[in-house]
Amino acid sequence: MLLSEQAYKKIDREIAKFPADQKQSAVMAALAIAQDETGWLPPEVMQEVADYLGMPAIAVQEVATFYNMYDTKPVGKHKISVCTNLPCMLSGGERAAHYLKDKLGIDYRETTADGQFTLIEGECMGACGDAPVMIVNNKRMCSFMSNDKIDALVEELKK
């Protein structure tokens, strides 16, 4: 087993939310739980999720590769997703992205040499009025990201 007993207990709680014959409906939650535990979703972890949910591995892979929140390649300890949709870009998103790229010394889809940060382009985060917007590790939304706020975020995450 590639996942811990605790991870399977969490997945079981998600499965219980659906009719018994529709375990596969918990696939997105199961992938999120697996990724939280392993850091990313290598093929063998996706296979294990597929087996546990009783669905084809290709169906799990389709979900994992469709949604931006799942990582099918290794990422840094802190994945920062910058909204690149038009409203954010027009409200300082491009400036914030360039500043962050320069600060970290990486481009989109790259990881810093120390393995701490990965930068990715994100789709609409549903907070256009808070632009520019970034999400850290799929869980923490950061709004109105000025250069000072970016500096503070990076320093906080380094600790």
In tens, the pLDDT along 8-61 reads 999 999 999 999 999 999 999 999 999 999 999 999 999 999 999 999 999 999
Q: Which ranges of 54-139 does DSSP label H, i.e. alpha helix?
A: 57-66, 86-88, 94-104
Q: Which pLDDT tens digit goes with each residue over 86-144?
A: 988 889 889 999 999 999 999 999 999 999 999 999 888 889 899 999 999 989 999 99
Total residues belonging to the chain: 159
pLDDT number for residue 125: 87
Q: Are 16 and 47 in contact (CB under 8 A)?
A: no
Instruction: Using the predicted structure, report yes or no on whether residue 1 has a pLDDT greater than 80.
Output: no
Angle, CA 89 vertex, CA 83 and CA 95 arms, to 5°: 95
Of 72-76, 87-91, 107-111, 153-157, where does mean pLDDT reach its minimum? Answer: 87-91
| DSSP element (H, E) containing 48 | helix 43-53
Angle, CA 21 vertex, CA 48 and CA 15 arms, to 5°: 55
What lies within 8 Å, CB to CB, of 139 at 6+ separation is: none
